[in-house]
Chains A and B, each alone.
Chain A
């Protein structure tokens, strides 16, 4: 168990989207604030800061977590993946492209968190059906779209990936 003094700043070092980053944080600094304002990775958004809306969703060591419910010091030594690492260089990935095709976003504020949750879904559950997709999406709030395009986009990606892998 790591004990940190409340007053001091503590080193935080982790791998962000495949690149080593480091900084210092008070123990109470949230991961959202650290990513956005210490590292400058502003793609992770803050919507509620109580773990309900899902806008801040990132992946820590592959697991989907709410960055607003994690302290920065907790990810020391971890692998952190955010929306900024999703595209392959200049090329949007299949999920991002499907979101664009299906008008699955409007203001785009909730979108990064949603894409992070869905990235895990499409990796781990190739046979997810519509109700499973809605269940996963129900960890997120979107106020613009009514979710319609998102469900269509994910179903299309799942089918295409299944076809590509012949499963």
Chain B
């Protein structure tokens, strides 16, 4: 097979491309991916594609329908009796097998794989059902009875931080589980002496990158060895491996964790599969069978993970010329219901580069981390960056406006100048390389910012809302394992021992036939690591990439790995490919040693190229590399001693610059720092609030680019996430913690028709730190794009933009044009809501061919209730005008049973009444009020009704259109049936129901 080169324009800037090694020929070029042929024919090997072991059972999770409640009791009797159900594990049983997960913060807020005694967010797992198949397991979920006692939900992080608020974890003593203040330089003096102080508060929302493949776990327990063998589409970081092992009470070598060859995207999210791994491991042990769980979309959106939402108050001190002399961040981080490892990492990942791309000598930071009744947070592409830059780059724009300086000009005045490189920031990052001003100049010129400004001028002259936004950011990559310990005081750090570095591993092996295999622990999630590794290793060994086979599936029992392994913090191109380069270089030296002896020339005269070991002084004197490799296996006694035996090398690499935080809390939190400058033009439609991206330019300096096509692919993907975060995506909660974004109709990632054009520019200042010279580049647009678009929208509409996403409703609110309201008057005054859940209101009327008195009798006759409630299973008379009803309700594929209590009140015989009720079931809870009025009319009786419903739990998560339509349909059906029942009053039971139903339908 001949490797095909992709010829593409615009990728490289030849004058800036620095080739450090003349022998390199594959790195830096675009190769078609080795991953693609299998994926394109549906022959990928994703976790749910792998063969299931004999006897494999399937699991489903029972999840909390409410945000905050005590679990009074769980009755699994009926569910266990269901044929095909093998086991049901509840929190109390799980707690006998596991310890709480370790957390980075020493507080008493334990988390297990299942809720213990209390649920703290909608979707929190309460029990695991293990059954013959997923269908049966879900049947069982429906008939597990859980008795919840409601607690006050806490959703807003600012409310959570108040001392009088209900505590999520009473033993922790506060909802603020972590607080630290930092000072670098002398921010107090800088603010005191500032010519200008600019301040703003921004709120970054909850969102998630939602890979199309959700979580998969297959767990087996081997009792003879007390080993759990788990295959899961986990992505790392492998810091979580000891967290899982400790929870299971085992040393690490008894938790064998394997990852599949392919993973359907992750973007950080698949870090959060780890608590499910522990739950499923227990399920496998209890049921004594392999157990598999495939997460569904509702579970993923509602309960897997999320970016942190953060409230940041930021202040910038400026001198009269617009130089920023100090920054002050007050960050309030919402990590959801638990501080799940590695949180609170999101707030510390950027710590070293909190001054952005600017020279700012004085810095104050207050970090507070709160828990709320929302899903626990975790890794998400951009990790910590979108939150920080949304504050920083907004305040830079506000400063520009205050001082009357162009927003790009104020950035230029503050950017770290090229002659200051490497620049040590106030909080400790070492910005290693780059010419930020040069990149800005080039992007301004090649992206034609002048033309965009002319377009804005023209649009404004035409009376349109048009704005331009900018953002300059530092994109950190290769996280220092010690950055999270910045949350400890220097004294606490001294006690607990230093954590530092970021070990990457790679193995390169020649087999006896001379074929090369490469194995890494980078756990790719679709980026194309195998392709790039083949390029990197081929160059070191003087062979062709197409001859190399790379394994990226991983097995903790057999493959090299370390605590920093995994796919996160954009560590592949610099660290993992770097380790592969080092391993290959070591093998190359050994090959040369054998070749020197065979070719009878000095070692310094041997080069490896085109698959041959050759004497540089006499190119005809050559031997195929595979023959040398074969010799190392077949004739180990004949190879020089210094070549060693066998031909396998495993390299461990870490950046020596990644020290632990120092005693002044300064930390070089990442191994490499890229630079990004974005600008864009947007137009806002004042009528419908739509934001159209007219033009978007992104300029990156991510060091040396290993494969230009793949690099651009990463940038385009990151841009799509940033675009979604800016305009579309939010994991929405009501103030009482009901979750409203449980489907892809409610949580809206961008489609092809949404995506604007993107112009990408590259500079390449090689990293002096990484072996490949590469820095990370896949996360940057998640950090730069949301605030760049926000700045453009603010410029367009002329008012500050302090939160995201900029949905049409939000834009209309910003520009104070309310959505048109339904002009239809309501006959019955709107009913007051009883709380803050997902609210539904409605009204309607039906005409019944009977007198108001007859209709009244029908409504009050308990025997008629089964006939008028659709899918009614049972009715119990429970006191005067009080009924207990069991009925089914469903939306599309989601259907479940509810236990409802109905109360009739305000009885005005023959004229009207109120009907109030509460319903609970596996799908969620509802509480509602309705008012019914009867009026005599020509055809009999006119029944007018109005209702207000609050819905929470799973059923609320499928939200919006689906839910409203289904509820309205169901309620219309009930009143229709009241009408029908009045003409079949002599019938009863099934006949009445059938007759009523038919009449309504006809």
Q: Tell me the A residues contacting B by CB distance below 8 Å.
A: 26, 28-29, 36, 41-50, 52-53, 55, 82-84, 86-87, 92, 96, 99-101, 103, 105-112, 115, 131, 133-135, 137-138, 140-151
Q: Judging by beta carbons under 8 Å apart, are A103 and B709 in contact?
A: yes
Contact of A100 among B37, B42, B209, B212 (CB under 8 A): B37
Q: Are B744 and A145 in contact (CB-based, < 8 A)?
A: no
The docked-state distance in angstroms from the alpha carbon of A154 to that of B908 is: 67
| CB-based contact A106/B40 at 8 Å | no
Q: Is the CB of B717 within 8 A of A106?
A: yes
Taken together as a complex, chains A and B put the C-alpha atoms of A47 and B747 apart, in Å, by 14
Complex partner residue of A138 from B32, B48, B717, B752, CB under 8 angstroms:
B752
B41 contacts A143, C-beta separation under 8 Å? no
- A143 lies within 8 A of B42 (CB): no
Residue of B294, B710, B720 ringed by the most chain A CB atoms within 10 A: B720
Which residues on the A side are within 8 Å of B751 (C-beta)?
137-138, 140-141, 147
Q: Are B135 and A107 in contact (CB under 8 A)?
A: no
Is B526 part of the contact surface with A, judged by Cβ < 8 Å? yes
B150 is an interface residue with CB less than 8 A from chain A: no
The answer to whether B526 touches A106, judged by C-beta atoms less than 8 angstroms apart, is yes
Whether the pair A45, B213 counts as a contact (CB closer than 8 A) is: yes
Collect the chain B residues with CB atoms within 8 Å of residue A47's CB.
212-214, 297
Are A146 and B717 in contact, CB atoms less than 8 angstroms apart? yes
Does B753 count as interface, using CB distance less than 8 angstroms?
yes
Known contacts A42-B49, A106-B713; is A148 also within 8 Å of B755 by CB?
yes
Whether the Cβ atoms of A108 and B262 lie closer than 8 Å is yes
State A154–B193 Cα separation when bound (angstroms): 60
* Cβ-defined contact, B46 with A26, below 8 A: no
**In the bound complex, do residue A109 and residue B212 qualify as a contact, i.e. CB atoms below 8 Å apart?**
yes
User: Quick one: which of B702-727 are within 8 Å of A by CB?
Assistant: 709-710, 712-713, 716-717, 719-721, 723
| Chain B positions 253 through 279: 1 when the CB is less than 8 Å from some CB of chain A, otherwise 0 | 000000000111101000000000000
Main secondary structure on A side of the interface with B: loop
Task: Give the distance to chain A from B32, nearest Cβ to Cβ, in Å.
Answer: 5
How many Å lie between the Cα of A50 and that of B742 in the bound state? Answer: 11
- Interface pair B710/A103, CB less than 8 Å apart: yes
Q: A47-B213, A100-B32, A101-B32 given as contacts; is B46 within 8 A of A145 (CB)?
A: no
Given A50-B744, A52-B745, A108-B526, answer yes or no on A143-B210 (Cβ-Cβ < 8 Å): yes
Q: How far is the CA of A110 from the CA of B713 in the complex (A)?
A: 16
Chain B's closest residue to A55 (CB) is: B212
Task: Give bound CA distance, A82 to B210, whole Å.
Answer: 25
On chain A, the residues within 8 Å of B745 by CB distance are 50, 52
Q: A42-B48, A55-B212 are in contact. Are A107 and B525 (CB under 8 A)?
A: yes
What are 27 of the A-B contact pairs (CB < 8 Å)? A26-B135, A29-B135, A42-B49, A43-B42, A48-B212, A50-B297, A50-B744, A52-B744, A52-B745, A92-B41, A101-B6, A101-B32, A105-B36, A106-B265, A106-B713, A107-B39, A108-B264, A109-B265, A111-B39, A133-B752, A134-B752, A135-B753, A143-B717, A144-B265, A144-B526, A146-B755, A149-B716
Determine if B640 is an interface residue (Cβ-Cβ < 8 Å).
Answer: no
Kindly list chain A residues whose C-beta atoms are within 8 Å of the C-beta of B753.
Answer: 131, 134-135, 137-138
Q: How far is the CA of A108 from the CA of B525 in the complex (A)?
A: 10
A43 to B41, CA, bound (A): 7
Q: How many Å from the CB of B218 to the closest CB on chain A? A: 13
Q: How far does the Cβ of A72 sit from chain B's closest Cβ, in whole Å?
A: 12
- Chain B residues with Cβ under 8 A from A131's Cβ? 753
- In the complex, B296 has a CB within 8 A of chain A: yes
Q: How far apart sit A131 and B525, CA to CA, in the bound complex (Å)?
A: 30
Q: For B262, list chain A residues within 8 Å (CB).
A: 107-109
Whether B720 pairs with A146 at a CB distance below 8 angstroms is yes
Do A150 and B752 form a contact, CB below 8 Å, given A26-B135, A53-B212?
A: yes
> Shortest CB–CB separation between residue B464 and chain A, in angstroms?
22
Q: Report yes or no: A107 in contact with B213, Cβ–Cβ below 8 A.
A: yes
In the complex formed, the residue of B with least CB distance to A28 is B135
> Which size bracket describes the interface of B in this complex?
35 or more
Q: Find the residue from B37, B39, B209, B716 having the highest chain A CB count within 10 A.
A: B39
* Min CB gap B754→A, angstroms: 8
Asked if B489 is at the interface of the complex by the 8 Å CB criterion, the answer is no
| Residue in A closest to B742 when the chains form the complex, CB atoms | A50
Apart from A107-B265, A108-B40, 10 more pairs, CB < 8 Å? A50-B958, A53-B212, A82-B42, A100-B40, A107-B263, A109-B265, A110-B212, A112-B42, A138-B754, A143-B717
Give bound CA distance, A42 to B262, whole Å.
Answer: 13
Partner of B528, one of A44, A99, A106, A115: A106
Question: A108: which of B36, B296, B710 is its contact (CB, 8 Å)?
Answer: B36
Residue of B nearest to A100 (CB): B36
What residues on A are CB-neighbors of B110 within 8 Å?
none
B717 touches A144 (CB 8 A): yes
B743 at the interface (CB under 8 A from A): yes
What's the Cα separation between A39 and B958 when bound, in Å? Answer: 31
Q: Are A45 and B212 in contact (CB under 8 A)?
A: yes
In the complex, the chain A residue whose C-beta lies closest to that of B135 is: A28
Residues of chain B from 680 to 720 with CB closer than 8 A to chain A in the complex: 709-710, 712-713, 716-717, 719-720
Closest to B297 in A: A48
Select which of A48, A115, A150 is within 8 A of B744 by beta carbon.
A48
Q: Does B44 contact A (CB under 8 A)?
A: yes
What sequence of 0s and 1s flags, for each residue 857-894 of chain B, a beta carbon within 8 Å of any chain A beta carbon?
A: 00000000000000000000000000000000000110
The answer on a CB contact under 8 Å between B296 and A148 is no
Which of these, B48, B892, B958, contacts A36 with CB under 8 Å? Answer: B48
Q: How many A-B residue pairs have CB under 8 A?
A: 175
Determine the chain B residues whose CB is within 8 A of the CB of A145 once the complex forms: 713, 716-717, 720
| B41 and A86 contact, CB distance less than 8 A | yes
Are A105 and B893 neighbours in the complex by a CB distance under 8 Å?
Answer: no
Contacts of B501 in A (CB 8 A): none
- Shortest C-beta distance, A113 to chain B (Å), equals 9
Whether A143 pairs with B893 at a CB distance below 8 angstroms is: no
Pairs of residues from A and B, 3 with the lowest C-beta to C-beta distance, nearest first:
A43-B42, A107-B526, A108-B39
**A86 contacts across to B, CB distance below 8 A:** 41-42
A146–B719 contact, CB under 8 A? yes
A99 to B38, CA, bound (A): 12
The reply to whether A109 and B42 form a contact with Cβ atoms under 8 Å apart is no
Q: Which residue of A lies closest to B714 (CB)?
A: A106
Q: Which chain B residue has the least Cβ–Cβ distance from A87?
A: B41
Q: Given the complex, which residues of B lie within 8 Å of A140, measured CB to CB?
A: 751-752
| Chain A residues positioned under 8 Å from B297 (CB to CB) | 47-50, 53
Contact at B211–A107, with CB atoms within 8 Å? yes
- Chain B residues near A110 (CB, 8 Å)? 212, 264
Indicate if the CB atoms of A44 and B42 lie closer than 8 Å.
yes
Contact (Cβ within 8 A) B719 A100: no
If A101-B32, A107-B211, A142-B212 touch, whether A92 touches B713 (CB-CB below 8 Å) is no
Q: Tell me the minimal C-beta distance from B764 to chain A in angstroms.
A: 19
| Chain B residues within 8 Å of A149, by CB | 713, 716
**CB distance A50 to B36 under 8 Å?**
no
B450 at the interface (CB under 8 A from A): no
Chain B residues lying within 8 Å of A36, measured Cβ to Cβ, are 48-49
Chain B residue contacts of A109, Cβ below 8 A: 44, 46, 211-213, 262, 264-265, 526
Is B353 in the interface zone, CB < 8 Å from A?
no
Nearest CB of chain A from residue B739's CB, rounded to whole Å: 16
Contact with A147, one of B6, B211, B709, B752 (Cβ below 8 angstroms): B752
Within 8 Å of chain A (Cβ to Cβ): is B43?
Answer: yes
Instruction: Give B36's nearest chain A residue, CB to CB.
Output: A100
How many whole Å from B899's CB to the nearest CB in chain A?
A: 23
Per-residue 0/1 for B30-62: is the Cβ within 8 Å of any A Cβ (1 yes, 0 no)? 001101111111111010110000000000000
Give CA–CA (A138, B525) in the complex, Å.
Answer: 23
The reply on B749 being an interface residue by CB < 8 A is: yes
Contact residue among B33, B35, B716 (Cβ-Cβ distance under 8 Å from A146): B716
Decide: B752 and A83 in contact? CB cutoff 8 A.
no
Nearest residue, chain A, Cβ from B743: A50
Please give, as numbers and ranges, the residues of chain A lying within 8 Å of B743 by CB-CB distance: 48, 50, 52
Contacts of A41 in B (CB 8 A): 42
Residue pair B33, A100 in contact (C-beta under 8 Å):
yes
Q: How far is the CB of B410 from chain A (nearest CB, A)?
A: 30
Which residues from chain B contact A143 at a C-beta distance below 8 Å? Answer: 209-212, 265, 267, 717, 720-721, 749
